[in-house]
Amino acid sequence: MRFALIDNKRVEAQPKQQGICPICSQPVIAKCGDKKVWHWAHRSNASCDSWWEPETEWHRNWKNNYPTEWQETVLFDEQTEEKHIADVRTIHNLVIEFQHSTIKQEERISREKFYKNMLWVVDGTRLKNDYPRFLKGKESLFFTKTKNNNVFIVEFPDEVFPKNWLDSSVPVIFDFLDLSTDSSDEIRKTLWCIVPKQDGKTFVVKIQREDFIKVTLNYPSLFQPKPKPSSIQHKQKIILQPKRNMHREPLIDWIQRKQDSGKWKPRRKKW
């Protein structure tokens, strides 16, 4: 973990320090070696959070796109009395989990049920074959264009992505850009998002990295529900509230909009 409590303040690991775990209130010690990112660890090998995994530099780089107070937020379910640390929980209550290591399907489902409003960012460079498989699928006939240039229908998605992510109930974003990769590679620089299945079809959305960060910093979800046609009464437009199961718009307005002025001016009203 990145933060421990010292005098009830969240503190990052420094050599020879000791702190308190924010989730189980047990002592933790600073691990400040040369091979791994500096972090806090329990004195024993056991972890109080069953979903804990060692943090990599890839994790830390992603977390640093968000304020430190949003990072490693402890969430508690009063009904089940479960307590877990979310990688990032924004001020809009969106949980972002950055996943490098392999994860069992049962745990993935459990996390999605526990966090509810969440999305995954998956390290697509962990296994040597993941990116070549994606690239082969993208260049083949598996990717079908839609009216939206950033959205594709993917046939045989299990030939393109790891199978254990295809049935996720929340968006899954693949990041194929590792620390040693040439950042000028447009395909690797781009994030590729699997949208929860609609009508049995697998949709993949192409998202620029900077746009993804801006959306998650400012909105409670990556995709906004598409509103119903408005009704007009007394010459005033009344926007109807969207239903939960309504068709999702592939991207919110400004992802496709060119920002000529360099400034972001949202046009869509927040619900």
Tell whether the torsion through CA atoms of 223, 226, 232 and 233 is positive or negative. Answer: negative
Per-residue pLDDT of 11-56, as tens digits, reads 888 888 888 888 778 888 888 888 778 888 887 766 677 888 888 8
How far is the C-alpha of 177 from the C-alpha of 163, rounded, in Å? Answer: 20
Whether residue 225 has pLDDT greater than 70: no
Q: How confident is the model at residue 92 (pLDDT cuts 50, 70, 90)?
A: very high
Largest CA distance in the chain: 70
Give every CB contact of residue 256 below 8 A, 6+ residues apart in sequence.
148, 149, 150
Average pLDDT of every residue of the chain: 82
Q: What is the pLDDT of residue 260?
A: 44
Strands 9-12 and 3-6 come out as antiparallel
The pTM is what?
0.76
> Distance (Å, rounded) from C-alpha 152 to C-alpha 202?
8
Rounded (10°) CA dihedral 181, 193, 88, 94: 160
pLDDT at 193: 97
Distance of alpha carbon 226 from alpha carbon 242, whole angstroms: 7
153-202 tens-digit pLDDT: 999 999 999 999 999 999 999 999 987 666 778 899 999 999 998 888 99
b/e burial code for range 198-222 (CB count within 10 A of at least 16 → b): eeeebbbbbbeeebbebbbeebebb
- Give the separation between CA 100 and CA 61, rounded to whole angstroms: 12
Question: Residue 248 pairs with which residues in a beta bridge?
Answer: 225
Per-residue pLDDT band for 258 (boundaries 50, 70, 90) equals very low
Structure tokens at 103: 């994860």
The DSSP bridge partners found for residue 18 are 29
Distance between CA 132 and CA 135 in Å, rounded?
5
Looking at 82-86, 94-98, 102-106, 195-199, which range is the least confident one? 195-199
SS3 181: coil
Type of residue at 170: V
> Which neighbouring-strand residues pair with 171?
none
Helix (H) or strand (E) holding 223: none
> Which segments of 83-177 does DSSP mark as H helices, in order?
105-115, 130-139
